[in-house]
Amino acid sequence: MITLSGIIGSGKSSLTDILSAELGTKAYYEPVQDNPVLPIFYKGNEIAAQKRAAGDKEATNPYAYLLQTFFLNRRFSMIKTAMREDNNILDRSIYEDEIFMKINTEMGNATDVEYDIYKSLLNNMMEELPFASHKKSPDLMITIKVSYETMLKRIEKRGRDYELVEKDPSLIDYYHRLLACYDEWMAKYNASPLLIIDGDKYDFVDNLSDRVQVFDMIENKLHELGNLSDVQMDQFHTQHEKLFKAQ
């Protein structure tokens, strides 16, 4: 089981898609299109920021806790299902979930009480997770690390209005906080082996050479961990050669 992590717009879903095809594994995707809370959460952020600017220092986003418990519930269900199987990839996991609630609390969008309740719920879920499957953790966590500039370009490319800083300038602070929190999270993560991909350097979506280099990094790591055999590695090298010839 492989889990992906990374900031908004880092390319998690794209890498999950192409990596799933490369490895012949099942892909699990974070719910976005069927998320009824996400659009109103961003609107709630904007309203809360306006109220604070007008002098209401205790204004919060009423949808912050709702959004995070929605995601937490879906991610818990998704990883439980994935951990019962072999050979799958998740485009985000429960392991980085707390980052978002932490930031929302720091920014005043959620209260300390809401954060404490959220953490208690998350800890209870994490304690139950090993009992729900035959795996205790992912075999590999892949993090796509990108700069603020790259993140904004990819957010603009996918065109969700509620994610655009032009539509909501308060997102500038939010995104910078996310970048800092992900750096801290990467330094502390120890639930499984971690592989960091430079998303600024490698355009694994539109550049075939970059994509194959990323595949090689991931497959070499899986081979090193004992998840891929020598025979499988030879097969992947043959696949890559055919890709370049067909280009």
Q: Residue 123 has what pLDDT?
A: 94
33 pLDDT more than 80: no
31 pLDDT more than 70: no
Binding-site residue numbers for substrate are 30, 42, 68, 92, 97, 163
Both 8 and 84 in one domain: the answer is yes
pLDDT (tens digit per residue) in 85-99: 888 999 988 999 999
- CA-to-CA distance for 163 and 18, rounded, in angstroms? 24
247 pLDDT more than 80: no
Both 52 and 10 in one domain: the answer is yes
Q: Residue 17 has what pLDDT?
A: 95
pLDDT (tens digit per residue) in 99-109: 999 998 998 88
pTM, full prediction: 0.88
Binding-site residue numbers for ATP are 6-14, 154-158
Both 35 and 143 in one domain: the answer is yes
Tokens 């818990």, residue located: 76
Q: Residue 56 has what pLDDT?
A: 87
Instruction: Decide if 212 contacts 158 (C-beta within 8 A).
Output: no
Both 72 and 123 in one domain: the answer is yes
> By percentage, how much of the chain surpasses pLDDT 70?
98
Both 168 and 224 in one domain: the answer is no
Both 34 and 70 in one domain: the answer is yes
Averaged pLDDT of the chain: 90
CATH number of the domain that residue 190 is part of: 3.40.50.300
Domain of 97 in residue numbering reads as 2-201
Q: Residue 166 has what pLDDT?
A: 87
Both 149 and 245 in one domain: the answer is no
Binding-site residue numbers are 6-14, 30, 42, 68, 92, 97, 154-158, 163
pLDDT (tens digit per residue) in 141-169: 999 999 999 999 989 888 788 788 888 88
Both 192 and 233 in one domain: the answer is no
Both 153 and 234 in one domain: the answer is no
Helices 230-246 and 208-224, interaxial angle, to 10°? 180
Both 211 and 121 in one domain: the answer is no
Structurally, the chain folds into a number of domains equal to 2
Both 81 and 155 in one domain: the answer is yes
Residues known to be catalytic = 91
196 pLDDT more than 70: yes
Q: Quickly state the pLDDT bin for 32 (edges 50, 70, 90).
A: low
Both 134 and 91 in one domain: the answer is yes
